Structure 1
Amino acid sequence: MFVLTVDQRGSRRDVDRVAALLDELRDADLLRPFERTAGDEVQAVADDAETVVDLALDLVRRGHWSVGIGVGSVETPLPEQTRAGRGPAFEHARTAVERAKNAPGNLAVEGTDSAAAADADAALTLLATLVLRRTAQGREAVALARAGLPQAQAAQRLGISKQAVSQRLHTAGWPAEQSGRTLARRLLERADR
């Protein structure tokens, strides 16, 4: 099982971004949806590693969040409210989000199997670093690729050549991200065994 604990960075000097985030993530495929747990922090429960990778990288891309992923068991049945959940995955998520505040990419993974969690942490940190280093043009091209648009259609939408789209995707590290997402998913699944 996976618990995501996400804390707004610099919230004392910034507006409260939690309400908007909860609204934007309300349709995410989760066992328990994101819910405000305290102040500027939200928490969710997932059972699908691919969903966790997608959410973690989306949150990193937004740039305002520290993302902690806890891997392990949870007490069942899960309560209706996310914040009422208990178990090692919740405890690991708390440790992870605290570490994420000072980690590269502002993301961390902790788990019952510490070696497997460290492997997942390394893969996700590399992906987070890649995502954070993208230019605005790279982010645009990757967003269209993630939405499933062929390069010719992406080129049309961006008003550039197909070759320019290909170059932007290459420079943005899109091929590496795709492979990295698969690796991160597999490592999270291994950490959850």
Structure 2
Amino acid sequence: MIVVTIDQRKSRSGPDKVEDLLQRLARAYEVARPFERTAGDEVQGVLQDGPAAVLLALEVARTGEWSVGIGVGAVEMPMPVQTRAGRGPAFEHARDAVERAKNSNGSLALSGPGAEAERLEAELQLIALVNARRTETSDEAGILVSQGLTQQQVAVRLGISQQAVSARLASGLWYEATRLTDLAGAALHEYARIAEGS
């Protein structure tokens, strides 16, 4: 299983953003157990799908408002209805990961059994850093491409040349980051499957 724990950054000096996050996650992602507030400004959810967990973690970390910890491993069965009542190694790894994420590159960390966790964490932190440093214009072009538009269609939509679209995608490492994100999602899915049985 994959447990994701998300903690609001600088929550003492700003408004509580947990409810907005919970609504966004409920609309956008399919989960094994829903995200819910576990304590203070922290939320937690359980996923079975590696690609979804990676996309979720990167999206939330990209805002700069949250620290995201991904825990991989077994959970005690049967899983309770409420996420916060869950127990097992995946929950313990998620706790370790979110604490490390507070001081990690990209505000994201991953914990689990074996060396695979360290490799996956390095990949995800690299993607998170690329995403965080991408300009708004590069991000805008990339999002349209990810929705299925061609570069020519994006150019028309944005009122710029196709060469400008290509330059924006290249400067933001859009295709490279997208490919690495897909590979990391597949790797996390397989890793979680193996770790759950160990």
1:170 equivalent in alignment to 2:170: yes
Contact 2:48/2:189 (CA < 8 Å) preserved in 1?
no
SS in structure 1 opposite 2:160? Answer: coil
Amino acid at match of 1:173: L
Q: Counterparts in 2 of 1:30-69, with a 5 A limit? A: 30-69=31-70
Where does residue 161 of structure 1 map in the other structure?
Answer: 161
Q: What pairs up with 1:121-140 in 2 under 5 angstroms?
A: 121-140=121-140
Q: Distance in 1 between matches of 2:85 and 2:169?
A: 42
Aligned partners of 2:30, 2:149: CA distance in 1, in Å? 23
In 1, Cα distance between equivalents of 2:148 and 2:61: 21
Q: How many angstroms does 1:69 deviate by? A: 0.1
Report if aligned partners of 1:120, 1:191 keep a CA contact under 8 Å in 2. Answer: no
Residues 142-171 of structure 1 deviation map (CA, whole Å, 9 limit, x = unaligned): 221222222222222211112211110111
Q: Distance in 1 between matches of 2:36 and 2:157?
A: 36
Structure 1 partner of 2:15: 15
Looking at structure 1, the residues matched to 30 and 18 of structure 2 have their Cα atoms a distance apart, in angstroms, of 19
Q: 1:33 and 1:160 mapped to 2: Cα distance?
A: 41
Tell me which moved more, 170-179 or 3-12.
170-179
User: Partners of 2:148 and 2:42 in 1: how far apart?
Assistant: 32
SS in 1 for 2:23: helix
1:189 CA drift (Å): 3.0
Aligned equivalent of 1:99: 100
> Equivalents in 1 of 2:117, 2:141: separation in Å?
31
Q: Report the TM-score, using the length of structure 2 for normalisation.
A: 0.93
Gap regions ≥5 residues in structure 2 = none
User: How many Å separate the matches in 1 of 2:129 and 2:77?
Assistant: 35
Counterparts of 2:14 and 2:149, CA distance in 1: 35
| 1:82 paired residue number | 83
Moved more, 183-192 or 94-103: 183-192
Q: Does 1:146 align with 2:112?
A: no
Aligned length: 192
Counterpart secondary structure, 1:37: strand
Counterpart of 1:183 in structure 2 is: 183
CA distance in 1, matches of 2:156, 2:79: 47
In structure 2, C-alpha distance between the alignment counterparts of 1:71 and 1:96, rounded to whole Å: 10
Counterpart of 1:10, as a letter, is: K
Q: d(CA) in 2 for partners of 1:77 and 1:148?
A: 40
| TM-score, normalised by the number of residues in structure 1 | 0.95
How many Å separate the matches in 1 of 2:16 and 2:135? Answer: 26
Give, as a single letter, the amino acid of the residue that structure 2 aligns with 1:25: L
Cα distance in 1 between the residues matched to 2:91 and 2:190? 18
Q: Which runs of 4+ in 1 moved over 6 A?
A: none
Contiguous gaps of at least 5 residues in structure 1: none
Once the two structures are overlaid, the 10-residue window that deviates more, 30-39 or 63-72, is 30-39
User: Cα distance, 1:81 vs. partner?
Assistant: 1.0
Q: Secondary structure at the match of 2:26?
A: coil
Query: CA RMSD for the aligned pairs?
Result: 1.2
Using the aligned pairs only, state the percent identity: 53
CA displacement at 1:187 relative to structure 2? 3.0
Secondary structure of the residue aligned to 2:134 is coil
